[in-house]
Amino acid sequence: MVKRSRRGSQLARALGRVLGRTGRQGDTLTPTQRPTPARGTAYPGDFVGTPEITYAPIPGNDNVADPGEIVWTWVPYEEDHSQGKDRPVLVIGRDGPWLLALPLTSKDHDHDADQEARAGRLWTDVGTGTWDSHGRASEVRVDRIVRVNPDRVRREGAALDEPRFNKVADAVRRAN
């Protein structure tokens, strides 16, 4: 058993507060909180169909994620909605109280596009943006539309420009 001194615990908490700050508008969770599914709100499952998609970002202006914005949130795994991970998503619309969003990744799927397509996963390149602190190019998954609790959006990342958003919207319509 490892014992921590009171001073060590205070130092660890202070360091966590300093290192955990994002400096971005829209934080609704404390930066050191581990992303988890929203309590008291059961995930209703991924959205099925083709949603109404309209470009309407107002980044940093209203603390509400709008279509066209890339934000960070907890995203459930497809195979088990009780588990998931924190990741960027592109907001594309709404479904009642839920935001509709597409998961992003910095992993390049161009080299395994055929394998991904056989598995039913379709990706569209969106390039780089301030949502990735390392400046890596990103891809958005257009065949999976996740519902996001607006209260669980951790921080605002950026707004995708309209031409790239329209390219994604067209790919979503073709995939769904």
- Provide the Cα torsion 108, 111, 117, 123; round to 10°: 30
Which tokens go with 57? Answer: 């970002």
Is residue 150 situated within a structural domain? Answer: yes
Is residue 105 situated within a structural domain? Answer: yes
Is residue 3 situated within a structural domain? Answer: no
Taking only the tens place, the pLDDT of each residue in 122-140 is 999 999 998 888 999 999 9
Asked if residues 137 and 127 have their Cβ atoms less than 8 Å apart, the reply is: yes
Residue 135 belongs to domain spanning: 69-175
Asked if residues 104 and 138 have their Cβ atoms less than 8 Å apart, the reply is: yes
Is residue 7 situated within a structural domain? Answer: no
Is residue 24 situated within a structural domain? Answer: no
Is residue 25 situated within a structural domain? Answer: no
Number of structural domains found in the chain: 1
Concatenate the DSSP letters of all residues of 80-111 into one string: -TT-EEEEEEEEEEEETTEEEEEEEESS--GG
Is residue 157 situated within a structural domain? Answer: yes
Is residue 14 situated within a structural domain? Answer: no
Assessment of whether the complete model's pTM goes beyond 0.85: no
pLDDT at 59: 61
3-state secondary structure of 155: strand
Q: Mean per-residue pLDDT for 62-78? A: 90
Taking only the tens place, the pLDDT of each residue in 80-131 is 999 999 999 999 999 999 999 999 999 888 778 889 889 999 999 999 998 8
Q: 111: domain CATH number?
A: 2.30.30.110
- Among residues 23, 78, 65, which one has the least CA distance to residue 152? 65
